[in-house]
Amino acid sequence: MEKYELVKDIGSGNFGVARLMRNKETKELVAMKYIERGLKIDENVAREIINHRSLRHPNIIRFKEVVLTPTHLAIVMEYAAGGELFERICNAGRFSEDEARYFFQQLISGVSYCHSMQICHRDLKLENTLLDGSPAPRLKICDFGYSKSSLLHSRPKSTVGTPAYIAPEVLSRREYDGKVNLL
Q: Give this prediction's pTM.
A: 0.80
Which of residues 106 and 180 earns the better pLDDT score?
106
Question: Which of the pair, 141 or 47, is modelled with greater confidence?
Answer: 141
Distance (Å, rounded) from C-alpha 18 to C-alpha 8?
9
**Catalytic residue list contains 123:** yes
Per-residue pLDDT, 117: 96
pLDDT at 180: 59
**What ranges make up the beta strands (E) of the chain?**
4-13, 16-23, 29-36, 63-68, 72-78, 83-84, 119-120, 129-131, 139-141, 148-149
In the chain, list all ranges with CATH 3.30.200.20.
4-78
Residue positions in the annotated binding site for ATP? 33
> In the prediction, which pLDDT does 114 show?
97
For the 83-181 domain, the top CATH level (class) is: mainly alpha
> What class, spelled out in words, does domain 4-78 have in CATH?
alpha beta
Residues 21-44 have a mean pLDDT of 88
Catalytic, out of 9, 123, 143, 177: 123
Q: Which residues are annotated binding-site positions? A: 33
What's residue 23's pLDDT?
Answer: 97
